[in-house]
A and B are shown apart, each in its own frame.
Chain A
């Protein structure tokens, strides 16, 4: 029982935090029945949660092939994923591109694979 009450307090506290942080709707009913008890736990616990994820506007560094990276890689992930990788050889970048195509369905045409490999080697490569 003690545990239940403690949890309820925690949940109520969280309600306050959540509404500050992410604009939670419909917490008023939650606060209204804050007199504890198992039955009320759920109504305090469950609120519409609405968040905004940060916009991702990080571009690929300029260079020959940046347009391909911008139109292909950014479909599924931000440029940071590429820039934080260890420097890879061109054929290692090519292998990553082929994996993105075969495993995840990246629509990178055959005639862009070499240019994209070269670009990725240019921005984060080794010999």
Chain B
């Protein structure tokens, strides 16, 4: 049973005001939180969350929603390595009918639609009959960091932990499509998984990619994650991996691939996951007449992982400040660090390169030469020249946040 928030939001808000929204763990006394051993308070209104260990194949996760599960990766996990362990990898489901038993003896991946020969594969087929490929890639929810939007927007109220990096192993989508033979005139390829809505009228969750993208050899059908089968909640047995693109396209429990000869008009492509067709999907709250397009490529981000807001340092000492960065849809070119709120920037040292879609470690040595407050900042630049904005981008769905990250610290 998940631990639940039984405190009325009013009292939670008052309590939050009391702690100043520092975003620290372990601040909460038991009386305010029924049955809670551990919790976190994200620095936004209604930011209290329980940490739970009640989900299968998962360690301690931030409970965003019990059903269908939304589980956030506690941020300290990102300090432990650039690959996110499977049992701490965030979880996001749209529809509540999630199969809890997967039997490989009966599971089939079907390829159908505008193809020369509809075909289906067993899991063994995929492993034995195709050349395996591997890619390290960040999977990030379109709405990662939505809770920080100002003004706030409705939706899953994530802090920064709706992302993870894994070494994915599987087969290329191109190789699978080639077995069926994509017919001339094909436009898109639609992906569907085993999950369904409770109500028959709820649109089944399906996502599509253009044919050219589907055949680029990079998009893959993964059967392993960090060297192990995927946790069920991350899509066992198969998950689409779309390197550099937001996770909405990384369909979980993938069992159906349909080649379309017309644009996909299903709800999840035409009415959900839409962004303003502007740089960084940015718009002004209330702005009318903005053209909307399906969300697509990710943008660069970087984070501090070992320094929290309000951290204190001793004058005269030196701290190795570190974090992670990713380039979005291409590699990290450099990571810049500022110790003076962005007036001056220095290049951080980059850790080993696991490919252009992976997290990358960055570090800087920070000497605490004098007493006083300081604002530390970090931003990533990718190899296509894109960087992170100084001010937050905004849109009504809470997508694609990638502002320069900053923490306020003090040397004493």
Contacts and interface: CB of A to CB of B under 8 A. Distances in A.
Nearest to A41: B127
Contacts of A77: 65, 67-68, 96
Contacts of B184: none
Contacts of B200: 105
Nearest to A105: B201
Contact of A54 (B54, B57, B227): B54
Nearest to B100: A51
Interface string A61-97: 1000000000000011110110111111000100010
Contacts of B67: 53, 56, 77-78
A53 B100 contact: yes
Given A22-B56, A86-B157, A49 B102 contact: yes
Contacts of A41: 127
Interface string A39-52: 10111011111111
A56 B128 contact: no
Contact of A104 (B57, B98, B203): B203
A113 interface: no
Contacts of A55: 1
B388 interface: no
Given A14-B229, A85-B154, A104-B203, A21 B57 contact: yes
Tell which of A43, A57, A78, A123 has the most Cβ of chain B within 10 Å: A78
Q: Which of A7, A38, A88 has the most CB of B within 10 A?
A: A7
A48 B9 contact: no
Interface string A5-21: 01100110110011001
B198 interface: yes
* Most B CB within 10 A of own CB, among A18, A46, A54: A46
Contact of B123 (A18, A45, A61): A45
B63 A80 contact: yes
A56 B66 contact: yes
A11 B228 contact: yes
A110 interface: no
B284 interface: no
Contacts of B128: 38-39, 42
Contacts of B13: 87
A124 interface: yes
B83 interface: no
A32 interface: no
Contacts of B66: 54, 56, 58, 78, 80
Contacts of B9: 83, 87, 123-124
A51 B57 contact: yes
A54 B157 contact: no
Nearest to B149: A86
A25 B224 CA distance: 19
A29 B224 CA distance: 20
Interface in B51-67: 52, 54-57, 63-67
B278 to A, nearest CB: 23
Interface string B127-140: 11000000000000
A103 B267 contact: yes
Interface string B156-180: 1100000000000100000000000
B56 A21 contact: yes
A69 B22 CA distance: 32
Nearest to A49: B102
Interface string B266-279: 01000110000000
A47 B65 CA distance: 28
A30 B198 CA distance: 35
A75 B123 CA distance: 33
Nearest to B128: A42
A22 B232 CA distance: 10
B157 A84 contact: yes
Contacts of B228: 10-11, 13-14, 17
A115 interface: no
Contact of A51 (B64, B198, B201, B232): B232
A55 B4 CA distance: 11
Given A14-B229, A46-B123, A58-B4, A53 B55 contact: yes
B8 interface: yes
A54 B55 contact: yes
A38 B132 CA distance: 11
The 4 nearest A-B residue pairs measured at CB = A105-B201, A10-B227, A51-B56, A86-B152
Interface of B: 1-2, 4-6, 8-9, 13, 44-46, 49, 52, 54-57, 63-70, 95-96, 98, 100-105, 123-124, 127-128, 152-154, 156-157, 169, 197-203, 223-224, 227-229, 232-233, 236-237, 267, 271-272
6 contacts: A22-B57, A42-B123, A51-B233, A78-B65, A84-B49, A86-B44
Interface of A: 6-7, 10-11, 13-14, 17-18, 21-22, 38-39, 41-43, 45-58, 61, 75-78, 80-81, 83-88, 92, 96, 103-107, 123-124
